[in-house]
Amino acid sequence: MKTILRLVALLVFSSLILVAQQKSDYANVQLFQTKAQSISKNMDKANSVQECAELNASVDALEKEFADDKTLLNKAIFPDGYDRTIEHLRG
Amino acid sequence: MNFPLNQNPGGSMKAIIILFFFSFLVLAGCSSLTLKPGDFAWPIESVSKVDEKGMIEDKQYYFSLNVKELLYNETQDSVNISNVTLRIIRDMKGYYFMTASKFKNVYVFEQIEGGLKLTKKILVTQDGLENPAFNQRPPYIQLLNGQKPPVSLTKEGILEGENK
C-alpha cells in the first residue's frame, strides 16, 4: 500500500514538474504586468485605509508569486523590470 | 650589352617603401572588422498579429516585417493571413525562430540587408502546433506545444535526444 502511495506521489510530482516546464515566459511576463497594472489602478481609486492595506497585501503577494521569475522580468520589462515595478507599487 | 642597372639606389628604395606603404593601406582597408563575442538573445518572444497586408510590427523590439511569403510557404494560402498570430524569438547567435498556431514547422532566419533570409525549416509536428510558445533557454530555444513535452531547438534543428 505504501509503495502504491509513493508511486502515486511520484507521478503527481513528475506531472507538476512537467506542468512547470511548460510555462511560457511570455505568458508569465504578461500575467505579471496585468496584475501590476490592476493593483496600480485600484491604488488610484482607493479611498480608505483598509483598501490601501489590502492593496499592500496584494503587492506582497505579487512580489512573492513572481520572485522566481525576477531575472526574466528584469530583462523583459523595459525600463522598470520586476524590482522597479514592485518599488513603484509600494511608492 | 650592358644595361644601366641600379643607377639610382636611393630612388628604388624610396619606391619600395611607397609600394609597401600602399600595400599596407590596401590590406588594412580590405580586412573585415569582426566584433565578437556578441549575445543577441531576446529574453522573451515577440507575439504579433499579422495585418491584412501581411505585416507585423513589434513595439518592444522595434521592428516591422512583411511575412506574407512565410505564411504562404506554410499554409499555401496568401488570402487568409490577417488572423495569424506569429511568434518570433532571437537566439544568442542572432538567428530568428518563427512559428504560429497550426504551423507544422519552425522557420529559422538570418538577418540580411533590409530583411530576413531562411536558413532552415524545422519540421516539429505533422499535426500542426496547438498552442506554441518560445522560451529563451541559452544556448537553445525551447518550443512549447500545448501539453506536449517541450522541444529544444538550435539553428540546425531539433536537439538530438529530443522528440521529433
Segments in chain A below pLDDT 70: 1-21
B126 lies within 8 A of chain A by CB? no
Nearest to B136 by CA among B110, B154, B122: B154
- C-alpha pair distances (Å), A6 with each of A2, A20, A45, A68: 6, 21, 50, 28
Q: Which residue of B has its CA nearest to A18?
A: B149
Residue of chain B with shortest Cα separation from A79 = B60
- Residue A77 touches chain B, beta carbons under 8 Å: no
List Cβ neighbours of B74 (8 Å cut-off, separation of 6 or more). B100, B103, B104, B105, B107
**In chain B, pLDDT over 70 holds for what percent of residues?**
84
The answer for B157, left when phi > 0, alpha when psi is -120 to 50, beta otherwise, is left
* DSSP state for residue B49 in the 8-state scheme: E
- Locate all alpha helices (DSSP H) within chain B, ordered by sequence: 9-30, 68-75
pTM, two decimals, is: 0.79
- Say if the Cβ atoms of B150 and A22 lie within 8 Å: yes
SS3 A24: coil
Task: Select from B54, B56, B80, B57 the least CA-distant residue to B68.
Answer: B54
Residues of A in contact with B133 (CB under 8 A): 24-27
Q: Which of A26, A75, A76 shows the shortest C-beta gap to B133? A: A26
**Tens-digit pLDDT profile for residues B43-80:** 999 999 999 999 999 999 999 999 999 999 999 988 88
In the 8-state DSSP scheme, what is residue B139? T
| Residue carrying the nine cell digits 512549447 | B144
Establish if B150 touches chain A: CB-CB under 8 angstroms: yes
Is the pLDDT confidence value at B109 over 70? yes
What is the distance, to the nearest Å, from the Cα of residue A77 to the centroid of all Cα atoms in its chain? 14
B43 touches chain A (CB under 8 A): yes
Residue type, position B111, single letter: Q
Angstrom distance (rounded) from CA A29 to CA A14: 25
